Structure 1
Amino acid sequence: MPSYIVICKSTATPPKVEAAKQYAREKGATVGADYAVLNGFQVSFDDDVDALDTMRRLDSVDSVEIDQEIEIQS
């Protein structure tokens, strides 16, 4: 099951973020870690393109990106 990072808009209130999580659960996703600094969370979806596209269009959501390792260079 692929993992994604959902970043909510900076204006999204905690209830709006929770509503986005609930939407994901209703579509069969597993909600994982919260990222308070990003105002977002991790979610694992089956390859349900429709659910991902709809999640991207939620008023509270800024972006949905595939979860991947990043390397920070100093």
Structure 2
Amino acid sequence: MPTYIVTCKEDASPEQVEAVKQHARDQGGKIEREYNIIKGFSVAYPEDSVTALEQHEHVKGVEKDQVMKTQ
């Protein structure tokens, strides 16, 4: 399964962030990492279901995790 970075809305409470994580788990996702600097986490998630995650009311954005390089 591909991995995605999920960013929650800035005004999301800790309970709302947890609700997003539970939604991801309920859809077959596995939380890989949780972030403290941003309200978000990475999740291994079925590619064909990512739209459901993007549409969650407390989600600001979802992007595919990838390696970044500097030149």
Number of the residue aligned with 1:53: 51
* Structure 2 gap segments, 5+ residues each: none
Q: Quick check: 1:37 aligned with 2:59? A: no
- Please give the TM-score of this superposition, normalised by the length of structure 2: 0.89
Q: Quick check: 1:13 aligned with 2:48? A: no
In structure 1, how many angstroms separate the alpha carbons of the residues matched to 2:23 and 2:34? 15
Query: Percentage identity across aligned positions?
Result: 39
In structure 2, how many angstroms separate the alpha carbons of the residues matched to 1:20 and 1:72? 32
Runs (4+) of structure 1 exceeding 3 A deviation are none
Please give the residue correspondences for 1:57-68 in structure 2 after superposition, counting only pairs within 5 Å. 57-68=55-66
- Please give the TM-score of this superposition, normalised by the length of structure 1: 0.86
Give the aligned CA root-mean-square deviation in angstroms: 1.3
Name the amino acid aligned to 1:36: N
Name the amino acid aligned to 1:18: E
Cα distance, 1:72 vs structure 2: 5.2
Number of the residue aligned with 2:23: 23
In structure 1, how many angstroms separate the alpha carbons of the residues matched to 2:14 and 2:69? 30
CA separation of 1:25 and 1:71: change in aligned 2, threshold 3 A = same
Cα distance, 1:52 vs structure 2: 1.2
* Structure 1 gap segments, 5+ residues each: none
